[in-house]
Amino acid sequence: MSSRIEWVGESCRLLRSIAEEYDSTQPFAGTTIGTGIHLEPKTVALLLTLRRGGARVVSTGNLNSTQPDAVAYLRERGVEVIGGPTTDEQEHDRHLRTVLEAQPDLLLDNGGDLFLRWLEQPYPGLRGGTEETTSGRARLREHRDALGVPVLVINDSPIKQFAENRHAVGQSVFESFLRITNRATNGRRVTVFGYGACGKGVAANFRNAGSLVSVVETDPVLRLEASFDGFAVPSRSAALSGADVVVTVTGARDVVTVADLALLRDDVVLLNGGHFPAEIDVAGISSDQSVKTVTEITDGITTVRLTDGRRVHLLTDGHMVNLAGPRPLGNSIESMDIGFALQARCLEAVAGGRVGAESIVVPVPRFIDEAVAEAYLAAG
């Protein structure tokens, strides 16, 4: 479906202007960039921007997320894509190692997979690179001394925190609820578990849509912040027993479990926006002895009917609701455009020696945050 790839590419205003600049500046001329990041329409725009900067780009996807049309589109435009969609960890491991066989000068990593394999078999000439995620930052931080090259962590940019985690996740989780359930939010009691960056956005979006939103948060300081932001902060059990909709966005496991079944109202909808499908114990809830039937009602909705007649609706089996289910689109193109502009500028800074060798697993440098913010605002 290349039309979606085109639409995304057209909508990435920052990447488009960076690519135009790169046509003349060629910051990656003679440089090989190895990437291990999801291969889908938004990353296509990033990888093609790096190509325009003169790089040889050798890429593979992540487990279970590679889109064949994105691979074909990239290959037609000179990006070397190793492998294709796979759910097999060993095959994925081979793909990552094949990327490293090209001995990239720069790595664009997602989850630490490439840098950690480089550490197993280091080759000379790696100049550094970027890491997209929090989980990758945690893995790589332990190996700072061994890494010895600059690694800039995109997730730790304040821009990424508010543009993606707060605003974009908030919007797309809310949009997913509407798209999957087609139910109104006005006057509904919505409980959000977690008041980190993502939870703040989710709570705000439901409130803006007329819901009565409460927040359950284990950190009392953030609970106080939620209260100052005007949300109710009831006890966990009061929140669960009053909710029409429950959203988890904590990054923790077993946030809502079978032990909570007794509290839930009839017709409650449970959904998760956190990374792992372990926040809502879907398996436990579906197999409890109080369950009469479990029915897949329609794409993305499973209804658990209890013997006392109450119904509990689970969206996308507890997987990230904005990336699973029918026609998932993920976070807004603009938020990804900003994140990928940070990626391009960080790789450029490493390639050009503008970040020192001591910048190992550190946040995006302030001068890059400022430049990307200025560029986005100037684009109007």
Ligand X SMILES: NC(=O)c1ccc[n+]([C@@H]2O[C@H](COP(=O)([O-])OP(=O)(O)OC[C@H]3O[C@@H](n4cnc5c(N)ncnc54)[C@H](O)[C@@H]3O)[C@@H](O)[C@H]2O)c1
Residues lying near ligand X in the complex (CB under 6 A): 165, 169, 193-199, 216-219, 222, 249-252, 255, 273-275, 320, 322, 331
Give CA–CA dist 325/319, Å, rounded: 9
Residues 6+ apart with CB under 8 A from 266: 309, 310, 311
Least distance (Å) between residue 151 CB and ligand X: 19
Least distance (Å) between residue 221 CB and ligand X: 9
Give CA–CA dist 92/89, Å, rounded: 5
Q: With respect to ligand X, which residue has the nearer C-beta, 321 or 350?
A: 321
Least distance (Å) between residue 62 CB and ligand X: 14
Least distance (Å) between residue 166 CB and ligand X: 8
Q: Do residues 226 and 197 make contact, with C-beta atoms less than 8 angstroms apart?
A: no
Q: Do residues 273 and 249 make contact, with C-beta atoms less than 8 angstroms apart?
A: yes
Give CA–CA dist 260/235, Å, rounded: 13
Q: Classify residue 366 as exposed, middle or buried by CB count within 10 Å of its CB (0-12, 13-18, 19+).
A: exposed
Q: Do residues 40 and 50 make contact, with C-beta atoms less than 8 angstroms apart?
A: no
- How far, in whole angstroms, is CA 228 from its chain's centroid? 28
Q: Give one DSSP letter per residue of 305-370, joined into a string.
A: EETTS-EEEEEGGGS-TTTSSSS---S-HHHHHHHHHHHHHHHHHHHTT-S-TT-EEEEPPHHHHH
Residues 6+ apart with CB under 8 A from 238: none
Beta bridge pairs of residue 272: 248
The Cα angle at residue 167 between residues 234 and 270, in degrees rounded to 5: 45
Question: For the sheet containing 311-315, what is the strand order?
Answer: 212-216, 189-193, 245-248, 268-272, 311-315, 301-306, 291-298
Give CA–CA dist 122/9, Å, rounded: 35
Q: Do residues 41 and 5 make contact, with C-beta atoms less than 8 angstroms apart?
A: yes
